[in-house]
């Protein structure tokens, strides 16, 4: 397999947690309180860091067409929410007060999603897990409490909607990755109500995605899939995985999964 390496020789760059292709360039996000956006296009690489997210712990971002949405942990009691709709990052107009001890998890960059041109969503965890949704690009927000367990390293880690109504949230207890209670939920009404999966994912899960009529979720003890929109889950593989990405190429469907020691495993899927 031919590979190409993009290098950013800068001491400010430590660990990139999320990556997307946006407006003909690659964007990668450094999470944590040293949050950065890395740009790479036609051999021109640069770092974007503005006062807008100074000292903000960035958790994840998503892109769709010409729109980007990013969220970070609370500052002064409010979640840090940004959008990019005119080639520049701006704070979302609507503010969301966080509960003490509530934050996002920068596990795989999939705790946020742009569902359509006007609808952004994200999830939180910790002292309280909630699902947040805007239908006007962040001017106003609604929030729904999620029935995850509460505590440090516990809650909703990843969300994915296959359309405007059907979505899945996965997570659990990062410190107890084999626990299967309250680890996956699904909705059929756009996130107004959430149902516990009849058969949960097999432990803590850090990422979920949808591809070819199936949901896939990964975590530190394996990968699962669901053929019924998150109601029941089956095991695909054992192993320790952080993020997943499906792709259709040359008539074959594959699931790329990042794992330890800089390794990416590739699974043939239906």
Beta carbons within 8 Å of 51's beta carbon, 6+ residues apart: none
Asked if 176 and 154 touch (Cβ cutoff 8 Å), the reply is: no
How far is residue 106's CA from residue 251's CA, in Å, rounded to a whole number? Answer: 33
pLDDT in tens, 194-226: 999 999 999 999 999 999 999 999 999 999 999
Asked if 155 and 171 touch (Cβ cutoff 8 Å), the reply is: yes
Chain-centre distance for alpha carbon 110: 1
pLDDT over 90 (residue 89)? no
Q: What is the mean pLDDT of residues 20-47?
A: 69
pLDDT score recorded for residue 3: 44
Q: What is the pTM of this model?
A: 0.88
How far is residue 253's CA from residue 236's CA, in Å, rounded to a whole number? Answer: 14
pLDDT in tens, 147-186: 999 999 999 999 999 999 999 999 999 999 999 999 999 9
pLDDT score recorded for residue 88: 84
Where does residue 14 rank: exposed (0-12), middle (13-18), buried (19+ CB within 10 A)?
exposed
How far is residue 11's CA from residue 253's CA, in Å, rounded to a whole number? Answer: 38
Copy the structure tokens of residue 143. 């929030």
CA distances in angstroms from 217 to 14, 56, 118, listed in the order given: 26, 28, 26
Q: What is the mean pLDDT of residues 61-78?
A: 91
**What structural domains does the chain harbor?**
62-269 (2.130.10.10)
Q: What is the mean pLDDT of residues 64-76?
A: 91
Strands 16-22 and 25-30: antiparallel
């Amino acid at each position: 397999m031919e590979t190409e390496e993009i290098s950013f020789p800068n001491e400010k760059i430590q660990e990139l947690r999320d990556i997307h292709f946006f407006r003909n360039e690659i964007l990668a996000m450094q999470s944590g309180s040293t949050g950065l956006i890395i740009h790479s296009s036609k051999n021109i690489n640069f770092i974007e860091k503005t006062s807008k997210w100074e000292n903000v712990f960035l958790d994840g971002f998503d892109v769709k067409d010409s729109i980007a949405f990013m969220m970070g942990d609370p500052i002064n009691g409010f979640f840090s929410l940004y959008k990019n709709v005119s080639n520049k990052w701006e704070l979302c107009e609507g503010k969301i007060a966080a509960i003490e001890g509530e934050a996002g998890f920068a596990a795989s960059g999939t705790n946020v999603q742009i569902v359509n041109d006007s609808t952004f969503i994200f999830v939180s965890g910790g002292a309280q897990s909630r699902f947040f949704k805007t239908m006007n690009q962040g001017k106003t927000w609604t929030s729904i409490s999620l029935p995850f367990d509460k505590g440090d390293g516990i809650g909703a880690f990843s969300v994915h909607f296959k359309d405007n109504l059907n979505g899945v949230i996965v997570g659990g207890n990062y410190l107890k990755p084999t626990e299967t209670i309250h680890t996956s939920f699904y909705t059929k009404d756009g996130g107004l109500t959430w149902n516990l999966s009849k058969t949960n994912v097999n432990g803590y899960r850090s990422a979920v995605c949808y591809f070819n009529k199936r949901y896939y979720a990964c975590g530190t003890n394996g990968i699962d899939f669901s053929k019924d929109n998150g109601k029941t889950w089956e095991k695909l593989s054992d192993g320790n995985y952080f993020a997943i990405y499906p792709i259709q190429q040359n008539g074959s469907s594959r699931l790329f999964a990042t794992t330890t020691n800089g390794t990416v495993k590739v699974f043939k899927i239906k």
